Structure 1
Amino acid sequence: MGVFCSPHSVHRAHAGESEKVLREAFPEASSHAMLGKPSVIFIDEIDALCPRRDFREQDVRVASQLFTLMDSSKPSSNSAPEVVVVASTNRVDAIDPALRRSGRFDAEVEVTTPTEEERLQILKLYTKKVPLDPNVDLRTIAVSCNGYVGADSEALCRVATIFAVKRSSDANEAASVLSLTIEDWEHAKTIVGPSITRGVTVEIPKVTWEDIGGPKDLKKKLRQAVEWPIKHSAAFSRLGISPVRGILLHGPPGCSKTTLAKAAAHAAQASFFSLSGAELYSMYVGEGEALLRNTFQRARLVAPSIIFFDEADVVAAKRGGSSSSNITVGERLLSTLLTEMDGLEEAKGILVLAATNRPHAIDAALMRPGRFDLVLYVPLPDLEGRYEILRVHTRNIKIGPDVDLKRIVEDTELFTGAELEGLCREAGIVALREDITATVVCDRHF
């Protein structure tokens, strides 16, 4: 026998009504138990019913009534419980601590985000009656759905099916030949994402390694550090090697440090969190540190994930040297970052990626293995690098036959990647100034 209580049914407008609803639920369960039918009282969203007793008088009264009823329904030491109280919440820290002790809620069961194998079982369950194309591999889809809970997986299957039905109706196909293809699943993934990271994650930038011209060795090291732990995790486990915890990219401004981070995130297809100093430096005390802790907590839930700090010297500035309030805020943020990266709660499956052009301003506590394991210098592009960058930035520009990119490369020594991009853009604007109907960019424009 089950008795269901929800916050909506318990909270009433008049004083005493809420407690009355609770008092009626427990005797009803006890009466069934006396007839030999063990009962369960299920309280949904208990954080709304029994929050911490700090503010409202009604919260104190309802919580006290629940404590009394649970204590009075306790079985004797030599008998099995005939009335069991089960509650659920997704805000366990918001519940009054007096409930979380033996004798009231004796056991706490955490329902975590599904693992890869569990996601596969959920997808199989929801596609049991849906015809799948032979090329569809549910395990591959489960691997790519990091952070998806059961409801997200159900929504993913529903949207993929709707898209398949729409596609077949547009093609005037018979319903009997309907099947879900890889394209249907890919389309569904663009609409349904992990709900646990809504409003926090950033869409993975569509920047590939081919979009970046420059030193091949640097890109190779970055790929190995970012992609290998995700794509070859079994090899790391086999050798007993732990992947790098953090990577710092430093170098002159305009040398594609942020673009390299975007390409790494896109290639790894990991959940991508981006934090800036403007978000972390709040006017309210403790708000920046709370945002930092919350970001790491969510990143753990949807691992593998990447947390990216652009202009990292703002968040990780050296401690000491001034007593102003801004430096104090920076020191608190740095302490939080140090604790999250290498504290008691290990940041498994999280890679911290940071970029700066002032590495000397970063605190020494971060510049060690276990925090920033890999420090990569992004230099000014050499002759070959400049040629690759110019080819990348002239892919969508119609250049004339008289344009010699190799000659331009020789004339642009010490140019950064951003300056070469600006050069190509300015050449196009010069061509339009000369003739607004121009269709090609010639050598004289460069």
Structure 2
Amino acid sequence: MTDTVEDVEMPYDEGSASRQEKIESLQDELDVLESQNEEMRDKLLDANAENNKYQQKLERLTHENKKLKQSPLFVATVQEITPDGAVIKQHGNNQEALTEITAEMREKLDPDDRVAVNNSLSVVKKLEKETDVRARVMQVEHSPDVTYADIGGLEDQMQEVRETVEMPLEHPDMFEDVGITPPSGVLLYGPPGTGKTMLAKAVANETDATFIKMAGSELVHKFIGEGAKLVRDLFEVARENQPAVLFIDEIDAIASKRTDSKTSGDAEVQRTMMQLLSEMDGFDERGEVRIIAATNRFDMLDPAILRPGRFDRLIEVPEPNTDGREIIFQIHTRKMNLASDIDFDELAEMTPDASGADIKAICTEAGMFAIRDDRTEVTLDDFLEAHEKLQQDDESGADDSLAFA
């Protein structure tokens, strides 16, 4: 039976309270109860939200636990597609098996595809092509900020590089009209610091092709076959992203003259070079992939890598002459605050044996002398002192090398 007003305990003294006071007291009590009810409703909503969050976490952990308990999938290569299914070869044990495949999977698969198979050797899914992640990392995403305008004294070399690398990619029709095959590779050789790497950077900046850079020493590995595999993957990445330019710096690290050495290290380097020769001028078409290589030790290179078809142009990058040094000084001082007494012709005359890298070092050192004297203007004396300091450093380095020889 529902309680009446008389059965409810009132928050006032019935004898002394008036009717209005009773109503106000009941209203206050009702407000309190409504507030408490609203608070409990909010707590219930929070509890439901927390419960949903934990429920989702439980489902995720249950799913992950189920996946961890599943048997691992094995990697295999499709050898052949037949009416009865697919012939696959497992990696590791090289066992071959004929397994049935679904109609949907049959449309996706081709010979040499990598697939994942379960314990019963059923094809579960198709995998991406195997390409060494190190080869992917060597792909340059952002063009260097070096342009041909930043290179001085190498006008003839720049012209030959552009004809060999850029023109076949940008104007292949010109070579077709003339009836010749575009050069496929260019080798830059010369003393250190003469601008070989800068030429490659300028090519990367000027062309819209994919640019892949690496050093020859990165292809030298300890275990048999690793270097050759990386070479294959590099050219595979280049072919997938053609037109492409592949730059190999310090190529003498893997392309030195072959000897009768029986050590495992020398044998592995020679195997890597054989793979490089095969990729450069092998049975398979290389496509729109141009190669630039650089070395300081031209005399160490194997004759096999120098023949036409691999490197069609051998470009010597010499130390700059007087006019070249003057241009290089002007390039490296473009952003410097120079005094009016600077004579670039005099600077070029006083540095007869300086390379481009040496001139850049002289300009930087001259700026440091100005900063040391708390000046914002670089004078001719700063350049003279910088040249003298670098000469002393070179002589000191030569003496130290003799002392430890």
Alpha-carbon spacing, 1:341–1:428, altered in 2? closer, same or farther (3 Å): same
Within the candidate set 185, 188, 191, 1:246 is matched to 185
Task: Summarize deviations over 1:320-372 as a string: whole Å, max 9, x none.
Answer: 14222221121011100110011011212111111111111110001111011
Within the candidate set 114, 117, 124, 1:94 is matched to 114
Greater displacement, 374-383 / 426-435: 426-435
Partner of 2:139: 201
Q: Which amino acid aligns with 2:381?
A: R
8 Å Cα contact 1:400-1:442 kept in structure 2: yes
SS, match of residue 345 in structure 2: helix
Partner of 2:12: none
- Kindly name which structure, 1 or 2, has the bigger radius of gyration based on alpha carbons: 2
SS, match of residue 306 in structure 2: coil
8 Å Cα contact 2:165-2:185 kept in structure 1: no
Deviation of residue 246 (structure 1)?
1.1
Q: Which amino acid aligns with 2:217?
A: A
Deviation of residue 218 (structure 1)?
1.5
Q: Which amino acid aligns with 1:323?
A: K
TM-score (norm 1): 0.59
Quote the Cα distance in structure 2 between the aligned partners of 1:222 and 1:396. 28
- Residue pairs, 1:73-92, within 5 angstroms: 86-88=106-108, 92=112
The answer to whether 1:444 aligns with 2:381 is yes
Partner of 2:208: 269
Partner of 2:219: 280
Deviation of residue 52 (structure 1)?
4.0
Question: Greater strand share, 1 or 2?
Answer: 2
- Residue pairs, 1:216-235, within 5 angstroms: 216-235=155-174
Quote the Cα distance in structure 1 between the aligned partners of 2:104 and 2:243. 38
Quote the Cα distance in structure 2 between the aligned partners of 1:15 and 1:393. 63
Within the candidate set 373, 391, 399, 2:338 is matched to 399
Deviation of residue 234 (structure 1)?
1.4
- Tell me the percent identity: 36
Quote the Cα distance in structure 1 between the aligned partners of 2:234 and 2:168. 21
SS, match of residue 86 in structure 1: helix
RMSD: 3.5
Partner of 1:317: 256
SS, match of residue 221 in structure 1: helix
Quote the Cα distance in structure 2 between the aligned partners of 1:351 and 1:15. 47
Q: Which amino acid aligns with 1:88?
A: K
Partner of 1:27: none
Quote the Cα distance in structure 2 between the aligned partners of 1:235 and 1:406. 41
Alpha-carbon spacing, 1:55–1:254, altered in 2? closer, same or farther (3 Å): closer
Quote the Cα distance in structure 2 between the aligned partners of 1:349 and 1:340. 13
Within the candidate set 274, 288, 292, 1:335 is matched to 274
Gaps of 5+ in 1: 1-7, 19-45, 71-82, 98-104, 106-110, 113-194
Partner of 1:354: 293
8 Å Cα contact 2:164-2:184 kept in structure 1: no
Quote the Cα distance in structure 1 between the aligned partners of 2:137 and 2:371. 41
8 Å Cα contact 1:256-1:417 kept in structure 2: yes
Partner of 1:237: 176
Partner of 1:100: none
8 Å Cα contact 2:147-2:205 kept in structure 1: yes
Aligned length: 293
Partner of 2:357: 418
Q: Which amino acid aligns with 1:376?
A: I
SS, match of residue 430 in structure 1: helix
Greater displacement, 229-238 / 350-359: 229-238
Quote the Cα distance in structure 2 between the aligned partners of 1:319 and 1:54. 33
Quote the Cα distance in structure 2 between the aligned partners of 1:423 and 1:220. 28
Within the candidate set 153, 168, 172, 1:214 is matched to 153
TM-score (norm 2): 0.65
Task: Summarize deviations over 1:15-42 as a string: whole Å, max 9, x none.
Answer: 99x9xxxxxxxxxxxxxxxxxxxxxxxx
